[in-house]
Amino acid sequence: MSHLKDVLHIPDTQSERDERHLAIQRVGIKDVRWPMTLRVGTEALPTVAQWDLDVALPAEQKGTHMSRFVAWLDGFGSEAVDAPLLRARMAAMLDKLHAQRGRIEARFPFFLRKRAPVSGVESLLEYQGRWIVESGPAGTAVWAEAVVPVKSLCPCSKEISDYGAHNQRSHVTVRVELKDEIAWPELVRFAEDSASCEIWPMLKRADEKWVTERAYENPKFVEDLVRDVALRLNADERVGRYRVEVENFESIHAHSAYACIERP
């Protein structure tokens, strides 16, 4: 009985008053690996995410309650994560931490099944995804980001060469603020439809011929690729602010080519 009484009277040090008069913009936990069910189109797919969770701490409060972030994560259960759920869960996190501002970031792999362009053989291609949710008195913003591997072929190399042209794999990173729901396959298509050619994990010889010729007929500088993705985003009313980055892993250089466009 005395042990139970001692437990009930453990002091809450984090809630004590701090006299240094310095607010903390972000305090929380980082790099927490936690299982997540991701809504991809009409499917609910299991994955593992690395989470960063934090809130703003008022100047007068000594500390935040770190264990409550983990309890918040555990509250997802088997629910499939999408933008509407994250908005609701952000409100729950702020309430649990007694905070006015907060930020959620989750980084995770996801897979889409792709059909080869000629043979029709199916296989899974991996993409890297990210959720970012930022909330404050002005409201809550939800961002979705996908890193999409594609193929690019150099227009200059094609123009100056008697035959052939150097080409390489590229990563297109598309980060968009969601004004309305955009499914992960749709986000990926912004990049794949803008590239010299998309890529597949499994190809037959007829597919390889098609990919090689498709890229040759559709050359893109890194500048072309980033602009074409941005044009597609500009035309979609579901997209608010965005950031598009393209990195070409150059096949004839020891460096990458890079370009970025942002809409604030």
**pLDDT tens per residue, range 104-146:** 999 999 999 999 999 999 999 999 999 999 999 999 999 999 9
Contact 197, 218 (CB under 8 A): yes
Q: What local confidence, expressed as pLDDT, does residue 174 receive?
A: 98
Q: Is the pLDDT at 8 greater than 90, yes or no?
A: no
CA 19/CA 17 separation, integer angstroms: 7
**pLDDT tens per residue, range 32-50:** 999 999 999 889 999 999 9
Classify domain 18-263 by CATH number: 3.10.270.10
Domain ranges of the chain: 18-263
Average pLDDT over residues 86-92: 97
Band of the pLDDT at 5, cuts 50, 70, 90? low
Give the tokens for residue 196.
């010299």
State the DSSP code for 61: B
